[in-house]
Amino acid sequence: MKFWTLCGNALTPKRGIFGKTGDLQTILCVSAAKDELTYSGALNGDVYVWKGITLIRTVQAAHGAGIFSMHACEEGFATGGRDGCIRLWDVDFKPITMIDLREAEHGYKGLSIRSVCWKADRILAGTQDSEIFEVMVRDRDKPVLLMQGHSEGELWALDLHPKQPVAVTGSDDRSVRLWSLMDHTLLARCNMEESVRSVSFNNDGSQLALGMRDGSFTVLRVRDMTEVVHIKDRKEVIHELKFSPDSSFLAVGSNDGLVDIYAVAQRFKKVGECSRSTSFITHLDWSVDSRFLQTNDGTGERLFYRMPAGKLILKEEAKGIHWMTWTGIIGPEVNGIWPKYSNVTNVNSVHANYSSAVLVTGDDLGLIKLFRFPCLKKGLYHPSNSRNIW
C-alpha cells in the first residue's frame, strides 16, 4: 500500500505502515474519505482503515473472500467481493446491510463481484462473468439483471437458429450461450471443459455442435443443453464445423488441415475424411443436396470433395454445384471483398444472403463491410479482429 503526495509536478510515494494492527495483505481496492481517512479492501476479505499512512483499524471478515470493489458516496460506502455479496456501510464504516447476489433469481454459485456503485436508492454491481445487476436499496431482495455476456478471452463462435430468432455464441470462457434476438436476453447456458471455438445448429435446430480448442467436438440437445456425444479425433483446434443441409452428416474442420465427416444417425460414427489441404481449415460449406463440400484453408486454397467419403473432385466438376451457404473467403464469387494489397489473412469471416444478393465480411481491422453478392471484381474498396459474423 503506497500513499502518494503531489509536490509541484512530481508524485512522491510513502509506503503504508501496517504495524501490529493488521497483517500485510494484497490490497485490491481503495477509497478515500474525509479527515485523511482511507479505506482499502484486502484479499482475505478484511477492510483496512488508514489515517494518513498508518493503519489504525481493521474491519475483520467484512466479506467472506477478497474485496474487489469499494465505492464512496454521500450515504456511506458500498463494497463488493468474490463471495458474491454487496455490503453497505455508513459514513463511519459501520455495517448497514448485506445483499447476496448468489441467492438472487439470476444468481449462481461462484458469482464474483468486480465493481460496485451506490447512489441514493440504487446500486449497480458488475460481475466477473460480465453481468450487471441493479439493486434498489428499499427492495434489496429483488436484484434485477440488466445485462449478461461472455467473460474471459475472445468470443469466437456464432450461429443462428434455423427456425427461431435465437443466436448461439461460444467463447474462451468455456461457455456456450443461447440468446433471444427479440429481447436480447440469455435463454440458456452450458459450461464446457474446453474453450469453444465454433458452433453449428442442425437444420431443425434440435442439435448443436461445438468445436473445441483441444481438437474435440461436442454435440448438445438444444432443448435442455445436455450432451449427445463428445469425440476427440484431432489434436488441433476445431475452428469450423457444419451439419449437412439434410442433417445426415457433420463436417468438422481442424487446424490439423483435415475435415472429418460423421454420420449423425450412427451416433456420429466417422465415415469420411477430407485430407488434401496443406494448411489449417478456415471455412467450409455444404452443397444444397448434401453431396458435396467446399473448404478454404490457411494458404488460401479452395478445394471440393464428394460426400460422405471425402473424395477430392476437380474445380471444373464443381462449377454446377449449388451451395447451401457461402461462408468461404476464396473463389471468384468473392473476389471483390479483397482491398488492394491485402492478403488471405486480412478477411476472417464471410456470410452471403442469397435472397437479398448481399455479402457481409469481418476483417482484421475490426470492420464489417457489406457487398453485393456475387462480388466479382477485385480491388473494390470497416482495430481487434472480427472473428465471426452471421
Burial track 197-220 (b if 16+ CB lie within 10 A, e otherwise): bbbbbbbebebbbbbbbebbbbbb
Residues 163 and 273 in one domain: yes
Residues 136 and 99 in one domain: yes
Residues 129 and 184 in one domain: no
| pLDDT value, residue 381 | 47
Answer whether residue 389 is part of any domain: no
3-state SS assignment for residue 149: coil
The CATH number of the domain holding residue 134 is: 2.130.10.10
Contact 176, 168 (CB under 8 A): yes
3-state SS assignment for residue 41: strand
- What is the Cα–Cα distance from 98 to 136, expressed in whole angstroms? 13
Residue with the three cell numbers 464489417: 368
User: Last residue of some domain: 123, 147, 171?
Assistant: 147
User: Last residue of some domain: 147, 181, 205?
Assistant: 147
Answer whether residue 377 is part of any domain: no
Answer whether residue 35 is part of any domain: yes
What total number of domains does the chain contain? 2
Residues 352 and 271 in one domain: yes
Residues 261 and 358 in one domain: yes
Query: pTM here?
Result: 0.83
| pLDDT value, residue 341 | 82
Mean pLDDT for each consecutive 10-residue tract of the chain (390 residues)?
A: 93 94 94 94 97 96 98 96 97 96 92 96 96 94 92 93 98 96 94 97 98 98 98 98 98 98 98 97 98 97 98 95 97 91 88 96 94 83 54
- Residue span of the structural domain in which 323 resides: 155-372
Closest C-alpha to 274, from 266, 285, 289: 285
Contact 350, 327 (CB under 8 A): yes
Answer whether residue 13 is part of any domain: yes
Residues 137 and 192 in one domain: no
Contact 170, 162 (CB under 8 A): no
Answer whether residue 379 is part of any domain: no
Closest C-alpha to 256, from 279, 231, 285: 279
Answer whether residue 217 is part of any domain: yes
Answer whether residue 225 is part of any domain: yes
Give me the amino acid identity at 218. Answer: T
